[in-house]
A and B are shown apart, each in its own frame.
Chain A
C-alpha cells in the first residue's frame, strides 16, 4: 500500500514536472537538487515517460513550435516520436521503483527486504546499490516525515505499548505499561533528589538528557536534536540544510526554446509565399481601398434600449420619394381599457358625442372602462378603419410639399400700438333706455347733440346724446326700417322709413333754431310749389311715387313734412351731403329699387332702368357727383352727371350687407354677411386693398368716422370692432389699417347682435343699437 502510494506520488510529481517543462531539457534541474545522482545517471529514461504523456497533454505547447501549416510529414515525425516513446514505456516501472527506493531509503530493514523481493525480477545496476549505500551514510539527513497518521510511531522502537494515553493513569501502579508481549513494564527505579543531583554532576550528558514519560527513562539528545532546539529557540528554521534563499528557478521563463519535433529540413513551400493567402490579402486590401473595410474602426456601441416613441425615425438615405411616415400620437390615458375615473365621459358628454357628426367628433372613440383586459371586446371599428386607411392611401397619398420656413411673426406687418392711435371709443358710457323692440336704425344729427332711433316697437325716439334723455317719441304703424338725419346743418330734418314703403320727412319740434326751422320750411314749401306748378301729366311721368303733404295737425304737432309712398319696404335712406337729395333703397321693388328724391322740387327719379342683382346699399360720394350701388356681389360706381358706370368693385364676398364711403371719397369699406370687411382703395384697384375677417358672425354695418381716422364694423356676434384707418394725402402711401378695440356689451338675441352703428360727427364716440333693445354710446 504505502509503496504504491509513494509511487503514485512520484508519478504525479513527474507529470507535473513534465507538463511544466514545455522545453524538455530544462526539467532535469529541479530533480537534481533532490537526487542529483539519479538524474545525472539516467537522463534518457526520465525523458521517455514525459514524452509519452506529452502526446496527449502537451499539444498546446507543440502548436507553439509547429508551423500552422503543419504537413503530413510533420505528423509522421510525431508518430515516430510516439513510437519511440512506446518503446521506452517498458522501462517505466523500473524507473518508478528507483524513485520509491530513494524515498524509503531511511526506512527499516524489513522494508528493504520486501523491496528486494519486489526488485528481484529487475535488472538492477550496481550503481543503484552504491547510491543506496550513499544515502544511508548521510548522517545529516533527518528521517523524512510523511504526513500520515501515526506515521512516525511505526519507525520507533517502543517497549511500552499502552499507546497514547496519559501516563498519569499509571501513577498508582508499579508498572507503567505493557510490552509487546503483554508483560508489564515496571517503573524504573527513581532516585531521590540527591541522587539526581549527583548524577547530574557525574554524567557529562545529563544536561542533554530528557525524561521520557512513557519509558520512565531519560533520553539523551544528540547534537542534531540540540541544534534543532537551538534553532527553534533562536527563531530559525530548524533544518540546518534548508536554505530559504535559494536562487530562483525560472520554471516558466519568457525565453523561447526552439526544439524542433523532427530534424527533417523545412519543406520548400514554407519559404514560398502562399498564393492563396496573397489572394485573400489582396481581397482585403481592395476592400480597404474602396473603403468597404475600415481598419481599426472603433466599434460602435449599440444602445441597449430603444425609445419606441422617440422623436425621429432612423434617418434614411436622402431620397426625393422618401416621405417619412407621420408620427403616431402617443396614447393617452383615456385610451386605456381601464382609464381613471376622471377620464370617463359623463352621460351628457356621451350624448353630446353621439349627437355630433362623426366627422366633427374630436375623438372617434368614447373612453370605456373594463375591469380587466380579458373583458375588452374585439375592436368594432377595425374593418371600417382599415377601409378608411385604404381610402387614405388611395385618395390621399402623401406628397412632398415644399414648405417655406418663415417666422410667422415676421409676416405680421409692423403696426403701431393702439395706444398711440387714440382717441377711439373704449367703453360704454351712456345707455339710452326706452325702446321695447330691436333697434334697427338710428341717426345722429350733424352737430352731434341729438339722435333719432327707429325700432321694431314702431316708435321713433329722439335722444339727447350727452344725457341719455328721450326728448320726443313718434309712434307709427309699422316697423322702422331706416332713419337718416339730413346732413345739412342749416336744416333740421330727418327721413324715416316706416313699414311697407312709407317714407316721411320730419322736422323735430323745438330742436332746431328758428333759422333752421324757417329754412326747412322754405325748402319744403319750395318743393311743394314746384310740384303744384308742374303740369299734371308731366308730374306723373316724372314721379314714380307720390309725394303727399300731411295734414296740418301732424305738421304742427309732430313735425311731419312730406310722406312718400314706395311700393315696397324701404330698407335704406341715405342723404346727399347738401341735404337736398336723398336716395332710398327698396330691394324688392325691381326697377324702382333705387330712387333719388329731391326735396326742393318734390321730385323722384329712378336712375336705373334695370338693375343687375339685388341692391343692398347705396351711397352718395361725399364730394363728387358719384353714386355707389352695392348689390349682393359688386359695388358699382356711377357718375350721376354723365349717367354712366365708372367702376365695378369686386369684393369677393358672397353677400354685401353694408357700405360706407370714406369722407375723402377715395376709399370704400364694405361689410358682408360672410363675416368679411373689405377696404377698397378706388385709386388702387377694383379689388379689395384689404379684407379683414375678424368677426365670428355676419357683419351688419360698417361706418367711417367723419373726422377721426376711424372706422368700425358691427356684427351679429354682438361685438363692435373699431379700426384705425388712416388715409394719407400722399397717393403713394397706402391706407394704414390697425384694429384698435373690440367693444362688447350687446347681447345676441335670436342670433342678431349689433344692428347699426354710427360714429359721432365730431367726437371719437360711437353709438350702437342692437337686437337687445339697447342703444349705447361708447366713448
Chain B
C-alpha cells in the first residue's frame, strides 16, 4: 500500500491500550494523505485479520478526523518526527434495533441490563416495563398525572424496584415481580410542592434522590415508611398532608432529607458514582450544584449562563455532562473547585439538549437527546458529534436518552421507545 503511493510519507508508531490488538511498536512509514480508513487498513494488515476491524486513531488524545497531513498542518506538527498514534477499536454507527409504541409522549426511559428490562415513563401517567422482545410486561398505574422520570432501584432475581416521579408531585416506588409479572406500589413519597422532575438511585441502591420544580431536592431512604413512622408523626405539616391524602390506600413516605438552595426549578439529579453521599443537581437557575446529603449542605455551585436540563456522570471518568437550553453540552470536572470549570463544550444540536447519558463502557463517549429530534453520539476527544441518529422528517422532541450497556434508548414526542445498538 505504501509503495504504490509516491506522496509524502510520515513516520508513525502505532500504540494501543487494547492488548488484544497490540502490534509491534516499531515506527513505520505511512503516506501522509492517509485518513482513518487507510490507517485502519494498515493496522488490520499488521494484525493479519481476515475480517477487518475498524479502528479509530488518536494523536495526542485527539481523534483523527482528517488526513494525517492535514492534521499535521492544522496542529503545526513537524512531519519529520515519529508520530505516536494510538488506535482503538472504533465505534460502529448505532443501528436501530426496535421501537416500542406508546400511547403518549415518553418523558423518561431507562434500561437495566441485569434484568433485561426497559422502563419508560409516559405522559399518560403510566410507567411501563418492557422486555427485550418488545413486550410491555407491565403497565404501572398509580400516578395521577404525567410521569416525568423513572429509575430502576434494587433488583433481585425475583423482584425489581422501580421509582417514578410525576407531575402530580409524588414519587412512587414500585415493586415488580419477575416471577409472575405482577407489581405493587411499595410506597408513595410526598413532600414536593411541585412537579417532581427527576429521580436518581445511588450505587448502593439504599437511597434515591428526587428533584422538583419547587426548587428542592429530596433524598429518600428506600426503607418502608412504616419503619419511619415515629419521625413522621412529629412533623405537623406532614400530618396535615396525610389528612388530605387519606383517601389513598398507599403507604406514604414523607421522611426525607431536603436539599434547599436552588432558586429555580431543579430539573435533574444524580448521585456520585462512587460516593452515595454526594449528589449533583442542575436546574433553571443556571447552576450545577453538588451536595453533601448527610449534612444537607450545598458543597459547590458552578454557574453557567443557561438553563440546565440534564446532568449525567460518567462511571468511568467521573466527569459530569450537562445538557443546556442553549443547545450546548458542557462537560465539567466536579472535583474542580472553581465556580466555572467547564472543561469542554460540545456543540452541534440545534435546539435544547434535553438529556445526556454517558456510555457505561467508555470514558469518552456519551449520547444526547435534543428537542431538534436528534440523538447524537459524541466522543469528547473529537470535535463535533460522531453519529447523529435522526428519523427522517421528524420534528418530534426527544425528552430522554439512556445508554444502557450496548443499547441507546431514546424516547420523546414520537411516542416510541427507540432502541439503537451501539457497541463500544
Pairwise interchain contact B214-A471, C-beta atoms closer than 8 A = no
Pick from A422, A469, A513, A763: contact of B105, CB below 8 A.
Answer: A469
Pairwise interchain contact A515-B371, C-beta atoms closer than 8 A = no
Closest partner residue, chain A, to B240 (CB atom): A514
A471 to B146, CA, bound (A): 8
B167, CB-defined interface residue at 8 Å: yes
A429-B351, A447-B213, A510-B168 known; A762 vs B284 contact (CB < 8 Å): yes
A469-B146, A471-B146, A510-B144 known; A449 vs B307 contact (CB < 8 Å): no
Distance in Å from the Cβ of A747 to the closest Cβ of chain B?
17
Pairwise interchain contact B193-A449, C-beta atoms closer than 8 A = no
Chain B residues near A471 (CB, 8 Å)? 145-146, 167
Interface 1/0s, chain A 416-442, versus B by CB < 8 A? Answer: 000000110000011000000000000
Enumerate 7 A-B pairs (CB-CB under 8 Å) in ascending A order.
A429-B351, A448-B265, A449-B265, A464-B167, A763-B307, A779-B325, A779-B352
Distance in Å from the Cβ of A746 to the closest Cβ of chain B?
17
Pairwise interchain contact A429-B214, C-beta atoms closer than 8 A = no
Distance in Å from the Cβ of B297 to the closest Cβ of chain A?
24
Pick from B145, B193, B397: contact of A467, CB below 8 A.
Answer: B397
Q: Interface size (B, Cβ < 8 Å)? A: 34
Chain A residues near B145 (CB, 8 Å)? 471, 510
B264, CB-defined interface residue at 8 Å: yes
Pairwise interchain contact B213-A514, C-beta atoms closer than 8 A = no
Distance in Å from the Cβ of A452 to the closest Cβ of chain B?
15
A659 to B236, CA, bound (A): 46
Closest partner residue, chain A, to B264 (CB atom): A762
Closest partner residue, chain B, to A470 (CB atom): B123
Distance in Å from the Cβ of A707 to the closest Cβ of chain B?
11
B163, CB-defined interface residue at 8 Å: no
A516 to B167, CA, bound (A): 15
A471 to B144, CA, bound (A): 12
Q: Quick one: which of A466, A468, A763 has the most chain B CB within 10 A? A: A466
A510 to B326, CA, bound (A): 30
Closest partner residue, chain B, to A469 (CB atom): B123
Q: In chain A between 683 and 730, which residues have their CB closer than 8 angstroms to a CB of chain B?
A: none
A449 to B196, CA, bound (A): 12
Chain A residues near B195 (CB, 8 Å)? 449, 464
B261, CB-defined interface residue at 8 Å: no
Interface 1/0s, chain A 20-47, versus B by CB < 8 A? Answer: 0000000000000000000000000000
B169, CB-defined interface residue at 8 Å: yes
B348, CB-defined interface residue at 8 Å: no
What are the 6 A-B residue pairs with the smallest beta carbon separation, nearest first?
A513-B193, A510-B145, A449-B213, A510-B168, A779-B325, A429-B352
A464 to B145, CA, bound (A): 12
A516 to B285, CA, bound (A): 22
Distance in Å from the Cβ of A170 to the closest Cβ of chain B?
104
Distance in Å from the Cβ of A558 to the closest Cβ of chain B?
16
The SS class assigned to the B binding surface is loop
B335, CB-defined interface residue at 8 Å: no
B194, CB-defined interface residue at 8 Å: yes
B399, CB-defined interface residue at 8 Å: yes
The tally of CB-CB contacts under 8 A between chains A and B is 59
Chain A residues near B105 (CB, 8 Å)? 467, 469
A510-B145, A514-B241, A763-B307 known; A429 vs B167 contact (CB < 8 Å): no
Pairwise interchain contact B351-A513, C-beta atoms closer than 8 A = no
Chain B residues near A422 (CB, 8 Å)? 305
A468-B397, A513-B169 known; A447 vs B193 contact (CB < 8 Å): no
Pairwise interchain contact A429-B325, C-beta atoms closer than 8 A = yes
Q: In chain A between 752 and 767, which residues have their CB closer than 8 angstroms to a CB of chain B?
A: 762-763
Closest partner residue, chain A, to B145 (CB atom): A510
A467 to B145, CA, bound (A): 15
Pairwise interchain contact B284-A763, C-beta atoms closer than 8 A = yes
Closest partner residue, chain B, to A517 (CB atom): B244
Chain A residues near B244 (CB, 8 Å)? 514
Q: In chain A between 734 and 779, which residues have their CB closer than 8 angstroms to a CB of chain B?
A: 762-763, 779
Distance in Å from the Cβ of B397 to the closest Cβ of chain A?
7
Distance in Å from the Cβ of A445 to the closest Cβ of chain B?
11
Chain A residues near B325 (CB, 8 Å)? 429, 763, 779
List the interface of chain B (C-beta within 8 A of A).
105, 107, 123, 144-146, 167-169, 192-195, 213-214, 241, 244, 264-265, 267, 284-285, 305-307, 309, 325-326, 351-352, 371, 397, 399, 413
A390 to B105, CA, bound (A): 76
Q: In chain A between 457 and 488, which residues have their CB closer than 8 angstroms to a CB of chain B?
A: 464, 466-469, 471
Q: Interface size (A, Cβ < 8 Å)? A: 21
A79 to B397, CA, bound (A): 130
Closest partner residue, chain A, to B195 (CB atom): A449
Pick from B265, B306, B307, B371: contact of A430, CB below 8 A.
Answer: B371
Given contacts A469-B146, A513-B194, 15 further A-B contacts (CB under 8 A): A422-B305, A423-B306, A430-B397, A447-B194, A448-B265, A449-B213, A467-B105, A467-B107, A471-B145, A510-B145, A510-B167, A514-B193, A514-B241, A762-B264, A779-B352
A510 to B192, CA, bound (A): 13
A430 to B397, CA, bound (A): 9
Chain B residues near A468 (CB, 8 Å)? 397, 413
Chain B residues near A464 (CB, 8 Å)? 167, 195
A513 to B144, CA, bound (A): 14
Chain A residues near B326 (CB, 8 Å)? 779
Pairwise interchain contact B194-A423, C-beta atoms closer than 8 A = no
A779 to B193, CA, bound (A): 26
A468 to B399, CA, bound (A): 11
Closest partner residue, chain A, to B192 (CB atom): A513
Distance in Å from the Cβ of A490 to the closest Cβ of chain B?
11
Chain A residues near B241 (CB, 8 Å)? 514
Distance in Å from the Cβ of B306 to the closest Cβ of chain A?
8
Interface 1/0s, chain A 335-369, versus B by CB < 8 A? Answer: 00000000000000000000000000000000000
Pairwise interchain contact B351-A467, C-beta atoms closer than 8 A = no
Pairwise interchain contact A513-B214, C-beta atoms closer than 8 A = yes
Distance in Å from the Cβ of B240 to the closest Cβ of chain A?
8
A614 to B82, CA, bound (A): 84
Closest partner residue, chain A, to B326 (CB atom): A779
Pairwise interchain contact A467-B144, C-beta atoms closer than 8 A = no
Chain B residues near A467 (CB, 8 Å)? 105, 107, 397, 399
Closest partner residue, chain B, to A516 (CB atom): B193
A471 to B105, CA, bound (A): 12
Chain B residues near A449 (CB, 8 Å)? 194-195, 213, 265
A423-B305, A429-B371, A510-B145 known; A515 vs B352 contact (CB < 8 Å): no
Chain A residues near B352 (CB, 8 Å)? 429-430, 779
A263 to B413, CA, bound (A): 137
Distance in Å from the Cβ of B195 to the closest Cβ of chain A?
7
Chain A residues near B351 (CB, 8 Å)? 429
Q: In chain A between 515 and 554, which residues have their CB closer than 8 angstroms to a CB of chain B?
A: 515-516
Closest partner residue, chain A, to B399 (CB atom): A467
A430 to B351, CA, bound (A): 9
A762 to B263, CA, bound (A): 10
A430 to B284, CA, bound (A): 16
A222 to B267, CA, bound (A): 150
Distance in Å from the Cβ of B346 to the closest Cβ of chain A?
18
Pairwise interchain contact A447-B265, C-beta atoms closer than 8 A = yes
Chain B residues near A513 (CB, 8 Å)? 169, 192-194, 214
A447 to B413, CA, bound (A): 24
Distance in Å from the Cβ of A37 to the closest Cβ of chain B?
113
Chain A residues near B397 (CB, 8 Å)? 430, 467-468
Chain A residues near B107 (CB, 8 Å)? 467
Distance in Å from the Cβ of B211 to the closest Cβ of chain A?
13
A779 to B325, CA, bound (A): 8
Closest partner residue, chain B, to A423 (CB atom): B305
Chain A residues near B193 (CB, 8 Å)? 513-516
Chain B residues near A469 (CB, 8 Å)? 105, 123, 146
A435 to B162, CA, bound (A): 36
Distance in Å from the Cβ of B185 to the closest Cβ of chain A?
19
Distance in Å from the Cβ of A138 to the closest Cβ of chain B?
110
Distance in Å from the Cβ of B111 to the closest Cβ of chain A?
22
Closest partner residue, chain A, to B306 (CB atom): A423
